[in-house]
Amino acid sequence: MSDRISVHITKETLRVANCYEHVSHVSAGGNAMFIGTVRNQTKGNEVLKLEFEAYTPMAIKELEKIAQAVIEKWDAIKVSIHHRVGTLRVGDIAVIISVSTPHRAASFEACQYAIDTLKETVPIWKKEIFRDGEVWVSAHP
């Protein structure tokens, strides 16, 4: 992958400053970021923690496809997608996507495309753990 793309799946805490550094560029006019965090409830059920699992080699490939599409379709200068796995607590950051483009409208579109596509295609799964049970998110109709 080119140095225009930074894709990571990690058990470590994600940091917005770190993800932004990967995309900042002197010819960028706009940088859009999306930060996905663990919410404290789902349909009124209190979430205690989340467990994220990835099929890592394929997840990396799918993330790279998304990043490549962002560069090609929106003329992005740089894009980084960092996803955390393992056990996350409420408020923890699960994913950070950062896109720099020459003009700002494209950065929003590209960033939104990236998170929307990630949630459809990238083999990562989360299990929500409640006080009285647990559930694999989105598994059932």
Partner 1 sequence: MKVKILAFGIAKDIVGGKSGEMDFTENATIAQVKEALTQQFPGFEELRKFSIAVNESYQEDDYVISEGDELVIIPPVSGG
Q: What residue ranges bind partner 1 (CB under 8 A)?
A: 36, 52-55, 57-59, 61, 83, 94-95, 115, 118-127, 136-141
Q: Which of 137, 125, 119 is nearest to 34 (CA)?
A: 119
Please identify, using beta-carbon distances, which residue of 10 and 13 lies nearer to a second copy.
13
Please identify, using beta-carbon distances, which residue of 61 and 116 lies nearer to a second copy.
116
Contacting residue, 11, 15, 61, 73, with a second copy by CB under 8 A = 15
Please identify, using beta-carbon distances, which residue of 3 and 88 lies nearer to partner 1.
88
Cβ neighbours, 10 Å, residue 74: 22
Helix axes 104-121, 56-74, angle to 10 degrees: 150
Residue 105 touches a second copy, criterion: CB under 8 A: yes
Out of partner 1, a second copy, none, which partner does residue 139 contact, by CB within 5 to 8 A per kind?
Answer: partner 1
Task: State the amino acid at position 79 in one-letter form.
Answer: V
**C-alpha to C-alpha distance for 65 and 61, rounded to whole angstroms:** 6
**C-alpha to C-alpha distance for 65 and 93, rounded to whole angstroms:** 22
Q: In this structure, are strands 86-89 and 5-10 parallel, antiparallel, or unpaired?
A: unpaired
Binding site for a second copy (CB under 8 A): 15-17, 20, 24-37, 39-41, 90-91, 104-105, 107-108, 111-112, 115
